[in-house]
Structure 1
Amino acid sequence: MAKIAAEVRRTAVARLEELRADGVLTAGHVRTVAQSTGVSERTVWRWLSSPAARPVRQSRPRYLLSETDREAFAFYRGNIAALHRARQAVLAGDGTTAGAPVPPFLSEGWAGGRPVTLRTLQRAFGQELTPAEQAAWRTGESGRRAAAVYLKRPDALRGRCWEMDHKQLPLVVLPPKGKAICPWMTTVVDDGTRALLGWAVAITPTSGTVFTAMRMAMLHEPEASPFGAVPERVRIDQGLEFAADDVEAALGTLAVVMHRLPPFQPHRKGKVERLNLTIEQMLISQLPGFTGGPRDASGKLYGPVKDSVAAKQAAGEASGEAGGPMRIERFVDRFALWARWYNTERPHRMLGGRTPLQAWMEDPAPLRRIGSDRLRHLMLASTDRTIQKDGISFQSLTYVAPELYGRGGQRVQIRYMPHDDRQIEVYAGTEHLCTAYPTGQLTPEQTEAFREHARAEAKRLGAERRKAAKRARRELAPMTGDGATPAESRLVSAADGRARTQHDRDQALAAKASTSLLGLTDPTADPES
């Protein structure tokens, strides 16, 4: 600051001297300079006095850090006071500080140096080291990154680029079964409009939750919202759920480029990271079971919900009691309402006071849409199941469909949407068999369709059996001897027909009739014939 003030003073004095040389200098000029520089008019007139009369101020010699000083800063973890004590001890010939010897490489580097005060060292380190360099030795990499300056990407057009992230929420909730847990959330944010396009809540992060969030972000439902489009690029981190083969295959099928970011660089997808912080500050912190709230001296959370292992177990065993954690289904409903409010009502500072919905609607960029029927088979989690007598068992439900009739024991692949148990898609290899529905949730029409299909299959199989039996009887008819000619029998060759008489051929045909083929013999027949 002193250097800047001196430069301002020299500039003002030079200008006033030019005005005086031209003979146009007035008291108004001096008054203007005095007001601008924050000094009195008398001081400005003194600046304009003759150089001989001006007081010469001796500048304090500046101390420049040596390489040893920088090494000591790293050795003492940025503690300049400890560094100063060690330096003074070396110059005094003691060689020990705080009861410990100064390292030899510091003693050798400081030998013969001039003494400086603590304030001088602090000033020197403050001038020559950047905040990032100082934080790197005091708090480590996290401190260095906090003081770093990053480039900002220009906002993309709507629907062109996504940012996705996984985050374990600081909230204790009750799953359908078991003890209380802190759920995971997958979020999809549009780069251009900062709209929350898709999200999914799960007990554990899987590729299924990724599919749920991506399907919500891609699916266009005009009656619900205008969002929904296939992006050109997706920014993701190093999470294993994003690296799943089925996730990469689904995005690759739609020609979506996956931009996998380096680890430990959350600023590379800062919009979704900021949204996650907004969710925590505006929604989760207001709910019972928030684990980021104040704690007592022993570390226990204030409030009715605790996050210890014993408390979570007790909450799961007494899930119906009031004052405990909220159920995960209720939290999902609450979050859905908050997401709708965020997209449609909350003004965003980075959008010029507009809501994400307004920014989306005002962007004229064209969108790539995809039909729900095509999207259904891409953005679904998958697993293998065996068809049982009552259908396909999955997540405590049994799913049936007319097309499953007669396939008991067959191994199939099912694709499903996490947290949506209304239906599953059934595949035999690459062939889509049917859409199955829970047994207890079938409509009367679906139940009647299943029974009608079962009756039709039984009728078809019965007809096939009767047709096969009739064909078998026709094949056995020539071997019964009832009006069969020698040419109609496949058991008598042409050579035998020329060598034998009609009587001999009749006897040979009777001997080789179907009864003998079945292992039945005529007890009156001559064994020698």
Structure 2
Amino acid sequence: MPGYTHAPTLRGGKPVDPDQPLLPFEEFVRLVLEWVQRWNHENTPKSLNGHTPREAWDADPALIDTVSTEALHTYTLERHGRPLTINNGGVRWRKRNYIADWMHGRVGEKVHLRYLPHHDHRVELYDPQTGRHLGHAVMAQQATPEQGLSLKRARARQADRLRTKLQKAEKNRNIRYAAVTRPAPPTPLDAMPEEEALEHLRNLDGFDPAAEALPDLIELPEPDAGLTLPINPHTPPPTEPKDQP
């Protein structure tokens, strides 16, 4: 669909049709449902001997078992490892509180928590001993739509900044070589002043302060005349003169 992250592009990464309006989500859902209706009720593939999928389904004598919602929860949701405790604020999971009306009077009881990945607003809770489904719980103190929109915009701005830095870093990685008219080893064109190289190292966190502390950078002053030189440990100590008789 137009606007998809991996939409077709031309050479150089330019979209095939950048001016094409984006397809609204509601329209996309309507088109998908139309396709499902047409496939199941109008399509007659050869593998079904000219019948539509709906006709083949109705003619199949196989029995169908209806699975309960609790069983679907048990076999399709992810389960948190250890049992959790119901407290005065509900059930604490991933630094969030989940509450439900049926929890009243159950403070201190243990429950198993199951969840649908990427859908943290609601969880399902079970008795850890029998596996019986107790009910669902919803996240307490959820952010308002305005706060969610502000967070989404802030994340988009951060992603734009990081994307710009990444593009600049990739551009700086490119090495250019001098032109040649005869076979010769490539000569990189990466000469730059020392100050500029140090500035790049500081910006890229690749700067070592010890590398700039050169011993001959600042000339040392002359020693003071009264400075006592340290004793050489390899020099033998002086011998005292013996008393003359």
Q: TM-score range by the shorter chain?
A: 0.3 to 0.5
Give the structure-2-normalised TM-score.
0.38
Give the structure-1-normalised TM-score.
0.20
Q: Quick one: higher RCO (CA 8 Å, sep 6+), 1 or 2?
A: 1
* Higher-Rg member (1/2): 1
Structure whose residues are more often helix by fraction? 1
